């Protein structure tokens, strides 16, 4: 649901006319985070449907066309033309599927995605010993939370950002940096809300530096 317009209150004026005064919604950020999470989930689902269902169906159609061309030599030219169009459609679907959901963690796993991220900046280091299995959607949420925390540190002038990933029954990510701490919690407020919408724990502690703790608990199926 889209956020509702803010409620209005009235304040008095010198001539006695009451003027509506808009009050900002206290939960605007929460609703925005929920909307972003829902959108990411829908895009990921659409991407998977295209990749897993539509693409293979078109590939099967292309094979059937080739078989028809072999059985009807006189129609081979027309069949080949349609087969080329089908191949172009398959390539376009693959491209759209990748564009709809581009999280590296969804494609190559959380560890490899974080390794690739850490290699892009000399101030970043990564320690990864987690063994907990992760669904692709949860891996993508953890990747987003960790990289946003690390990027916030770099924007705050950090010369050292260390990402540690541990856990076997769940996943715990610790992002520590020596950047400027003032204003960091506010800078990470949207990231915290997005993590919360994805079912993650997200805490930010500041002092001489900043430590962001991200927690993921494996979701076990409910027993009937």
94, 117, 97, 93: which is closest to 105 by C-alpha?
Answer: 117
The domain boundary, picked from 85, 100, 115, lies at 100
Mean per-residue pLDDT, 163-192: 92
Same domain, 115 and 192: yes
79 with 152, same domain: the answer is: no
Task: Summarize pLDDT for 88-134 with one digit per residue, the tens.
Answer: 777 776 666 656 656 788 778 999 999 999 999 999 999 999 999 89
HEC string of 75-98 equals: HHHHHHHHHHHHHHHHHHHHHHHH
User: Is 205 part of a structural domain of the chain?
Assistant: yes
Domain presence at residue 90: yes
The count of structural domains within the chain is 2
Same domain as 95, residue 139:
no
Do 168 and 119 fall into the same domain? yes
- Rounded CA gap, 34 and 171, in Å? 22
Long-range contacts of 148-153 (CB under 8 A, 24+ apart): 148/188, 148/191, 149/175, 149/188, 149/191, 149/204, 149/212, 149/214, 150/117, 150/124, 150/175, 150/177, 152/179, 152/184, 152/187, 152/188, 152/191, 152/210, 153/177, 153/179, 153/210
Q: Which domain, by its residues, includes 137?
A: 105-217
Band (196; pLDDT cuts 50, 70, 90): confident
136 and 207 fall within a common domain: yes
Determine, yes or no, domain membership for 3: no
Does a structural domain hold residue 170? yes
Q: How many CB atoms lie within 10 A of CB 211?
A: 17
**What CATH number is given to the structural domain containing 115?**
3.30.565.10
- 199 occurs within a structural domain: yes
Same-domain pairing of 131 and 154: yes
Name the pTM for this structure.
0.59
Per-residue pLDDT tens over the stretch 9-31: 444 444 454 444 444 444 555 55
């Amino acid at each position: 649901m889209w956020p509702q317009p803010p409620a209005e209150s009235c304040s008095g004026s010198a001539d006695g006319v009451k003027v509506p005064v808009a009050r900002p919604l206290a939960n605007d950020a929460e609703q925005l985070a929920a909307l972003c999470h829902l959108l990411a989930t829908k895009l990921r689902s659409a991407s998977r449907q295209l990749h897993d269902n539509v693409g293979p169906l078109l590939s099967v159609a292309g094979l059937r066309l080739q078989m028809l061309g072999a059985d009807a030599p006189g129609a081979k030219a027309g069949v080949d033309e349609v087969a080329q169009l089908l191949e172009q459609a398959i390539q376009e679907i693959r491209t759209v599927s990748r564009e709809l959901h581009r999280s590296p963690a969804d494609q190559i796993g959380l560890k490899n995605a974080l390794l690739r991220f850490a290699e892009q900046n000399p101030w970043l280091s990564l320690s990864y010993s987690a063994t907990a299995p992760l669904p692709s959607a949860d891996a993508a949420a953890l990747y987003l939370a960790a990289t946003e925390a690390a990027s916030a540190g770099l924007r705050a002038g950090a010369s050292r950002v260390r990402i540690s990933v541990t856990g076997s029954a769940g996943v715990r990510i610790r992002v520590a940096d020596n950047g400027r701490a003032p204003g960091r919690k506010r800078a990470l407020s949207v990231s915290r809300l997005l993590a919360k919408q994805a079912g993650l724990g997200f805490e930010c502690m500041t002092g001489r530096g900043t430590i962001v703790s991200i927690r993921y608990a494996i979701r076990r199926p409910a027993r009937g």
